[in-house]
Amino acid sequence: MNSQNCKIKNVYYVTQINKKKKKVKFMEIQGSIKLIQETESGTSKSGKEWAKRTVIVTTNDKYPQDLPIDFMGDKIAQIDNFQVGNPVSVSINIRGSEYNGKYYSSISGWKIANYIADVNNTEQNPAREKVEEVTDLPF
C-alpha cells in the first residue's frame, strides 16, 4: 500500500485512568470526502435527544470503497470545517449490535483532520531536480 491508498490502521495513545497510564487502541481511515449528508436528529424511546451526521469517505485503493462514517452529538461540529473532495484522516470506532437475531455494524467517527500524504522531493518540485550546467559565469 502506498501513501495515496486508504489506510485503516491501529493507532495507540496513552491516557491516564485512575492514576494509571493505559495504552488505548483506536483505528484511523484515510481517504477523501465524497459526500457530507445533512444532520439527522430525533428522540430515543427513553426520551433522549440525539443527532447524527454521516460523511462518506472514498478510499484511494486499487478497488475504491465508499465508507459511511457517522458522527454523533458534539462531534458533528468538526465536519463544518470540511468540504467534498478534501483529503482526510478520520479516527474511528467500529460498533456492532444485534436486533431480532440479525447483526449490524457501523463506523463511528470521533475525530476528523486534514490529511497530507507523504511527498518526496521529486513529486514536490520536479524542476528543482534539474541541474543545468553553466560554464560561462559572469564573475
- Domains in the chain (CATH in brackets) are 8-117 (2.40.50.140)
CA–CA distance, 82 with 34 (Å, rounded to integer): 11
Question: Which among 115, 112, 119 has a CA at the least distance from the CA of 54?
Answer: 112
Return the pLDDT at 115.
87
Q: 111, 78 in Cβ contact below 8 A?
A: yes
Supply 69's cell numbers. Answer: 462514517
pLDDT band for 2, please (50, 70, 90 cuts): very low
* Confidence at 57, pLDDT banded by 50, 70, 90: very high
For residue 48, pLDDT over 80 is answered with: yes
With bands split at pLDDT 50, 70 and 90, how would you rate the model's confidence at 8?
A: low
Tell me the C-alpha distance between 114 and 29, whole Å.
Answer: 12
